Amino acid sequence: MENITKHILFLFLFVSAINLSDAQLSYISENLYPSIINKDFNEINIINFIGASQTFQNELSNYITSKATINNLPYKFFSTFYYEFERNPSMSKFIQNEFRKGLINLRENVPFFDKTVAENDLISIRNFYQLNGYHDAQVSYRFYPLPKTKDNVLDFIIYEGNRYIIKEVVYNGLENVADELKEKIEELKNIKLNNYFSEPFIQNSLNTLTSFLKNNGYYSAEYSTPVVSMDTIDKSDLISVNFSLGNRYRIGSIEFIDSSNNQPLIAMEMKKKQLAFEIGEWYSNYKLEQTKDNFLSLGLFEIVAIDTTSRFKSQTDSTLNFVVFLSYRKQQEYGVGFSLNQTRMDNLVNIGLEANYRHRNIFNAAQEFSPFANIYAKDIFSTITSGSIELETQIGFKYTQPLLWTIDNSRISLLTSLSYSLRSLNNFFTISTFNLPVTFAIRFPRITYFNRGSVDFQFLRENPINFDDALSEAISSAQNEQDVNNILSAFLLYQDLSDYLKEQQYHLFTSNIIGLSLTGDTRNNPFSPTSGYFTFLGLDGWNPIFFPKEVSGLARYLRVQFTHYQFFKITPTTTLGLKGKFGGIQLLEDGNSYVPIDRQFFCGGANSVRAWPSRQLRYSNFTSDSLDSRNTYQFLQNFIGNGVLVEGSIEFRFGFPKPPGLNIFLQNLVENLKTTLFLDFGNAFHWFLSNEDIQVKPLDYITKLAVGGGIGIRYETPIGPLRVDFAVPIYDPLYIRKPFQQVTFNFGLGHAF
């Protein structure tokens, strides 16, 4: 059904007399500066809104057609010389004309002043004020030169007058609505008496009423143009609006039409499960849109359309029949090539080679099956700075069942995979891992703050291969008894893991974890958002349901996480981003500090506090000198995590408008280029070392946060921005890194948050 946007046109029955029109009050100077491009016309260099309240200043510029000339920097530089040439009669006219041609090439789409356009702008501004309750507003303009800067200035002079209030609202036609809806209708009549008149608010209120009707059977519900009667003495308005309800309809029948494009069709039962409405219930426009979203979320269709039809069954005065049209997309894909990714938990940028196959409809119910194999160099920045390569090789498959159950309006799907990997830990030893995660993903209705959730199970078997040899080699390098104790402390986490696997051969898993999470995401763009929020709340740890020794695992901990991003559009090219992040781990068993490496907390790096290298920021009294081994200390930093993480960021992201005078390629190049100014703060606490004895007080989680800042460069790509950040420490709670004296370089795919 076609949605028609309503623009309310107001009929004022009482108008005050005005002796002179706004246009007649306007003024155009005779000695304006002619344009260099065409001396018969005048450019507008500056536009002002005189008399407008600060609230309306930015909005008014969007309501007018007259635009000020935007000159790029080279043009401003050379135009200064051009005007000097004009004042010098001895200057060759040929050189002056050639200089002028060069200036013209530096610009394009220059808007000249047009009297008709300016007078139409007066109407637009007056309408803007009328719609916001300033019914007596008067507007004129003046266009004049500014000798000091040789600019032409266009001032719109505004007399706002009094803002009218709403005295009475009359709703006609709603008295015929079904009895069970009347109470809710009264609640939705939220145009309050004695509030200021505002056309946008009135329109939103009437649209809300209409949407409610359309979602409760009134397929043809609409309202006519409201009539507003203005009382110029009391400065008040009376609003009258007529609603047309039409018949109230139930769903008669639902049919499907498939355009397969030579792809296998999904089963009819799976199609029916995507329907948010049923035969016999009241028509709901919201449920039709929800059904479209359900089909599109399967990833099988290029087009999904739903409309009324009488092709399969005759419609009546109380029923509507619907047809769902599905156009299929290609279901199988193969891929081999280089890949660059960034892991979610430890914020590492990895590069490698990957091969995969993907089938989106393997069992004709939109199930997705994807075997894969890859090899990655983990944390390429650590590799560049330290020279040691950390490799991970992985093979496995992923499987997705897009719909298992529906509970009320929430949809539950299944995501699982099985993989085997080998990961070298800084050339000390290798971790082999069998990983079986099982996730029940929940999609909530769009009206909730949290729109996604999940219940996660992870069955993990990590085995430190050649661990004993690595430990013996490390101990053999010790200089004294203290060195031996430090090395044993460093290897303790993996020693526990090795002993656990040796203790009983029948232990299937080293970790058996359950997790619960909620996610709210309203960002307007997943890669480069300018508005909205992202909130993540998670809880995971040992799963007590699986208590038998064979499957219970060694990991005994409870972890909580909270992350929130907020984005604000400051100007058309400037965005403010805010980040707050907290994580905490509580060990549940004395003497057992084993937590899987991907569940521990690390701080520092491209997505964290950028003035510190990846995984090297923590509040601890351990140093490479105290261990007397730089190699062991490097292992500790990279592979022994922390129990608490606190992070935050403030980031301004600046873009550039398309510069005039350049070809399209260069314009797009400049437009895709961004810069950032950022401030990061954070730290990691409670290092998982047995003899870590630094005391952390509650206030230290605030006062011991490291602070760094810097600038960055971004270039937008279809998969997100490529970024380079340069950061310096501002405050180090351990006083190791001197303020503003060490520059850390970070490269990333996507924004830092």
Of 124, 153, 151, the C-alpha closest to 139 is: 124
Mean pLDDT per segment of 10 residues, for the chain of length 753 residues? 36 33 75 84 91 86 86 60 65 64 60 91 93 93 91 94 95 94 94 93 95 96 93 94 96 95 94 94 95 93 93 82 96 89 64 93 94 88 66 95 86 95 82 95 84 94 86 72 66 81 79 95 92 96 85 92 95 92 94 88 92 91 69 79 96 83 75 94 90 83 96 88 94 92 86 90
Q: What gap in Å lies between CA 317 and CA 304, rounded to an integer?
A: 27
Please tell me whether residues 221 and 340 are part of one structural domain.
no
Helix residue ranges, H only, 238-284: 268-273
Q: What is the pLDDT of residue 16?
A: 32
Q: Given the DSSP bridges, would you call strands 46-50 and 151-159 parallel, antiparallel or unpaired?
A: parallel
Query: Quick check: 433 and 423 in contact, CB under 8 A?
Result: yes
Count of positions (residues) in the chain: 753
Domain count for the chain: 4
| Domain around 274 | 250-328
Residue 15 lies in a domain: no
Contact 303, 325 (CB under 8 A): yes
Q: What is the DSSP string of 150-172?
A: TEEEEEEEEE--PPPEEEEEEEE
Strands (DSSP E) contained in 248-389 are 250-259, 301-308, 319-328, 332-342, 349-359, 368-378
Q: Which ranges of 1-72 does DSSP label H, i.e. alpha helix? A: 22-25, 54-61
Tally of CB atoms within 10 A around 198: 16
Helix (H, G, I), strand (E, B) or coil at 597: helix
- Whether residues 304 and 381 share a domain: the answer is no
Looking at residue 316, its pLDDT comes to: 82
In a domain, 17, yes or no: no
7 inside domain: no
**Contact at 8 Å (CB) between 429 and 469?**
yes
Q: Is 4 part of any domain?
A: no
Domain-located, residue 8: no
Q: Which of 50, 27, 60 is nearest to 144 (CA)?
A: 27
Q: What is the CATH number of the domain that holds 366?
A: 2.40.160.50
Question: Does one domain contain both 278 and 381?
Answer: no
User: What is the Cα 360 distance to its own chain's centre?
Assistant: 26
Q: What token pair was written down for 403?
A: 């719909």
| Last residue in a domain, options 225, 244, 263 | 244
Kind of pairing between the strands at 319-328 and 250-259: parallel
Strand partners, 88: none
Query: Is the four-CA dihedral 196, 201, 203, 205 of positive or negative sign?
Result: negative
Looking up residue 179, the CATH number of its domain turns out to be 3.10.20.310
470 and 491 share one domain: yes
Per-residue model confidence (pLDDT) at position 75: 61
Asked if 217 and 200 sit in the same domain, the reply is yes
User: Which pLDDT belongs to residue 233?
Assistant: 92
- Same structural domain, 302 and 261: yes
Identity of residue 38: N
Instruction: Judge whether 3 lies within some domain.
Output: no
**324 and 337 belong to one structural domain:** no
Segments in 53-198 forming alpha helices (H): 54-61, 73-87, 93-105, 115-131, 179-188
Name which of 593, 454, 601, 602 is nearest 515 in CA terms.
454
Same domain, 551 and 698: yes
**Which pLDDT value is given to residue 83?**
63
Helix (H, G, I), strand (E, B) or coil at 614: coil
- Is residue 129 located within the same domain as residue 177? no
Same domain? For 61 and 197 the reply is no
Same-domain check for residues 314 and 349: no
Q: Domain check: are 192 and 295 in the same one?
A: no
Is 239 buried (19+), middle (13-18) or exposed (0-12) by CB count in 10 A? buried
Domain end call among 130, 159, 188: 159
Residue 2 falls inside a structural domain? no
Residue 420 lies in a domain: yes
What is the residue type of 209?
A: L
The radius of gyration computed from the CA coordinates of the chain, to the nearest angstrom, equals 34
Q: Domain boundary at 111, 128, 159, which?
A: 159
